[in-house]
A and B are shown apart, each in its own frame.
Chain A
């Protein structure tokens, strides 16, 4: 069955430290992969997406993610975290075709940033 796993429910980092959020997926074909961020009380905003090509993708707000097919992973990274990055982050897989559509989200990782 198709699934997305975010193994870390909560992560706490100090401001200025590097960040890596993990995402593993299970899908038979080449997936379309996404990272979204949700600030408190807000909807979701797309950070970046992977469809094909270069496995290292750049997104907004200084985030990047690397697709590793052999590990079925799409981890999100940021070299230096800012206090405003505190939010919940969701990894998602888009799979299927028109008429048999699925868009599967992971359960999220809540990021806390220490000053």
Chain B
């Protein structure tokens, strides 16, 4: 039981490049989330999903897209990376919206130059 895993752990992009971050969970959780963590700003919700095939915008969705084609996977895409997207990205999953704890992955550190 690996919990929540994220791929890759580190990545450096040049401005304008694209990439996809993969989040996988093996706990059969319905709900999955993508956050970004920036110094002094805590964690901010980018997008979330309440089930396979569904996604919704969070607090800071601009510049990101997501897909949930399989229940266990939640992908975060950057179509044209910008330096402002330099951050640590965390994926999380949970059984029931709000009521139960969110299980977090180890994070992906992304630098956009």
Question: Are the chains A and B members of one assembly?
Answer: yes
* Residues in B whose Cβ lies below 8 Å from that of A101: 48, 50, 56, 97-98
Which B residues are CB-close (under 8 A) to A90?
42-43
Task: Annotate A76-95 by CB proximity to B: 1 below 8 A, 0 otherwise.
Answer: 00000000000000100011
Q: Given A45-B104, A98-B50, are A51 and B99 also a contact pair (CB < 8 Å)?
A: yes
Whether A69 is near chain B, meaning CB under 8 Å from some CB there, is no
A107 at the A/B interface (Cβ < 8 Å)? yes
Residues on B with C-beta less than 8 A from A36 are 104
Known A32-B99, A101-B48: A107·B42 in contact at CB below 8 Å: yes
**Nearest A residue to B41, CB-CB:** A107
Cβ–Cβ contact A94 & B98, under 8 A: yes
The complex places the Cα of A98 from the Cα of B30 at a distance, in Å, of: 12
Which residues from 6 to 58 on chain B have a C-beta closer than 8 Å to any C-beta of chain A?
33, 35, 40-45, 48, 50, 56
Complex formed: what's the CA distance from A96 to B50 in Å? 14
Contact yes or no, B48 A43, CB < 8 A: no
B90→A43 contact, CB < 8 A: yes
Instruction: Find out whether the CB atom of A103 lies under 8 angstroms from the CB atom of B99.
Output: no
Report if A46-B102 is in contact (Cβ < 8 Å); known contacts: A98-B97, A101-B97. yes
**Which of A43, A46, A105 touches B44 (beta carbons < 8 Å)?**
A105
A103 and B90 contacting across the interface, CB-CB below 8 Å: no
Separation of A98 and B98 alpha carbons in the complex (Å): 9
Residues of B contacting A103 in the complex (Cβ-Cβ under 8 angstroms): 33, 45, 98, 102
**Could you write out 8 A-B pairs with CB less than 8 Å apart?**
A32-B98, A42-B106, A43-B105, A44-B102, A94-B98, A102-B45, A102-B59, A107-B40
Q: Would you list the 9 A-B pairs with minimal beta carbon distance, nearest first?
A: A43-B104, A94-B98, A105-B42, A46-B101, A105-B43, A107-B42, A44-B104, A43-B106, A32-B98
Measured CB to CB, the residues of B under 8 A from A are 4, 33, 35, 40-45, 48, 50, 56, 59, 90, 92, 97-99, 101-102, 104-107
| Further contacts, 8 of them, CB under 8 A, given A94-B98, A95-B98, A103-B33 | A9-B40, A32-B99, A43-B4, A43-B106, A46-B102, A101-B56, A107-B40, A108-B42
